[in-house]
Amino acid sequence: MAASNAGTMEKRGSLKTTDSFRTENVPETGPLAIIVLGASGDLAKKKTFPALFNLYRQGFLQSDEVAIFGYARTKLSDDELRDRIRGYLSHGKDNTEDLTKFLQLIKYVSGAYDAEEGFRALDKAIAEHEASKLSPGESPRRLFYLALPPSVYPSVCKMIKFYCTPKADLGGWMRVVVEKPFGKDLASAEELSSQIGALFDEPQIYRIDHYLGKELVQNLLVLRFANRFFLPLWNRDHIDNVQIVFREDFGTEGRGGYFDQYGIIRDIIQNHLLQVFCLLAMEKPVSIKPEHIRDEKVKVLQSVLPIKDEDVVLGQYDGYTEDPTVPDNSNTPTFASVILRIHNERWEGVPFILKAGKALNSRKADVRIQFKEVPGDIFKCQKQGRNEFVIRLQPSEAMYMKLTVKQPGLEMSTVQSELDLSYRQRYQGAVIPEAYERLILDTIRGDQQHFVRRDELKEAWEIFTPVLHRIDGGELKCVKYKPGSRGPTEADELLQRAGYVQTHGYIWVPPSL
């Protein structure tokens, strides 16, 4: 069954989609079934169902069109599933009625992930909903969200394809959302893509990376291509280095066994940070159509040079292997700093440092673009630091430009300050949506701009697979670092070798309301 590439949706109105790759006309309205597979798991409870509830509260999901189905192996009744997720849904005095109505939209079907019987029962429940809501000229729409481990994707997708596809004469669309990690290296990712690709067309597959749904990440293209003063500066002539940093102030906390299978590069850098990298480094697309944007992301990934061992620092925090689910001799990094170098006219010679770590001294994610020094420094202020453009992705979303100004007073002395756009202060009262809300909404709309295309996924794994194999083979070793620190000192030394100049004595303070 085909899926659509583009469409529109009106708030407080019917969910509307168009289908750009099918030849026949597809009705724009009809019953919508959202099926959450793995409904009893943590991801569904903490992210998927809350996102759906917030979309419902804002009028993007209409109770006269939508039904939500949970599917998992656990034996539960409808009410038992509702009770399980109730505490994870944001609700206050004003939302009690919305919450009650939303929970009534949820139904539950139990079954195995590789058994025909459970999926036939699921299809029957969906079909009953569609039959009760379908009007002349409408077609059913089915969205399957796989809140499941990747190991079961192939069997689940096969069951969906064979037993849960709407009847051909009804038309409509069917889409499948899959969560990361998409494989563990190039070979496993390609195998997974081939297995799913044999069942569904590429426009039906939505590989979700929630970082692409974050407000400040979505702002990157606007910043770059809608502001004149950035256009001449965004290149190797003016930018010295770029950092993309993800920090957590806690360790694996009970997920040691799972995390040890992947490590920080697979968990954070190869997907989340690399997506930010693409948006920072790509060329201007022909338009903002999803395929034009994704084409440029693929091109910049193809321009990345192979990673050298001297451009990698790996760390593992003290105490990581004390987790009983982690092998005593584990070489899995909980910290990594990797330099990517782009071989093209715009970025030749500019290091992009991607850094992520657990059990560090702070929790934040930001982008730090450091400009070159001013030639002919007549104010003798270079020692105070360079100009930097900083994009704080989370928390306390903000953008600020570090620059040198005159210190107030009678003396001609300089100091570092900033031009600051802090979202909490500038957009008071505005609610920044959760990433999953935006991405689920995009899936319903048929907008794949913020999802990972198969060739993009392949290029990403091409970059990191050689390094990951050297880590797995023990050729690249982790160094220890203390929990609550900045990470290994070797990472700071790598940063210095890359040309980054740290500003001493300057601390950004978010403005108060």
Annotated catalytic sites, by residue? Answer: 272
Three-class secondary structure of residue 352 per DSSP: strand
Please give the backbone phi and psi of residue 23, each rounded to the nearest 5 degrees, phi first: -85, -30
State the CB neighbour count (10 A cutoff) for residue 502.
11
Q: Which amino acid is at 259?
A: F
Beta strands in 54-104 (DSSP E): 66-72
Which H, E and C letters describe 188-216, residue by residue? HHHHHHHHHHCCCCHHHEEEECHHHHCHH
CB 69 within 8 A of CB 144: no
Residue type (1 letter), 478: C
Mapped onto helix, strand or coil, the DSSP state of residue 19 is: coil
Q: Is the peptide bond before 395 cis (omega within 30 degrees of 0)?
A: yes
Q: Cβ(264)–Cβ(488) under 8 Å?
A: no
Helix (H, G, I), strand (E, B) or coil at 295: helix
Alpha-helical runs (H) found in 249-362 = 256-259, 263-264, 274-281, 290-302
Measured at the CA of 197, the angle between CA 195 and CA 199, to 5 degrees, comes to: 80
User: From start to end of 378-446, where are the E strands?
Assistant: 388-394, 398-406, 414-422
Residues 6+ apart with CB under 8 A from 247: 356, 357, 360, 361, 362, 363, 364, 365
Percent helix, strand, coil in the chain (nearest 5)? 35, 20, 40
Tokens of residue 73, six digits: 């192996």
Half-sphere exposure of 132 (CA within 13 A, CB side): 12
Edge-to-edge order in the sheet of strand 335-341: 414-422, 398-406, 388-394, 364-371, 239-247, 351-357, 335-341, 312-317, 479-481
User: How many Å apart are CA 125 and CA 31, to the nearest integer?
Assistant: 13
Instruction: Pick the closest to residue 470 from 336, 353, 340, 345 (CA basis).
Output: 336
Distance CA 70, CA 341 (A): 44
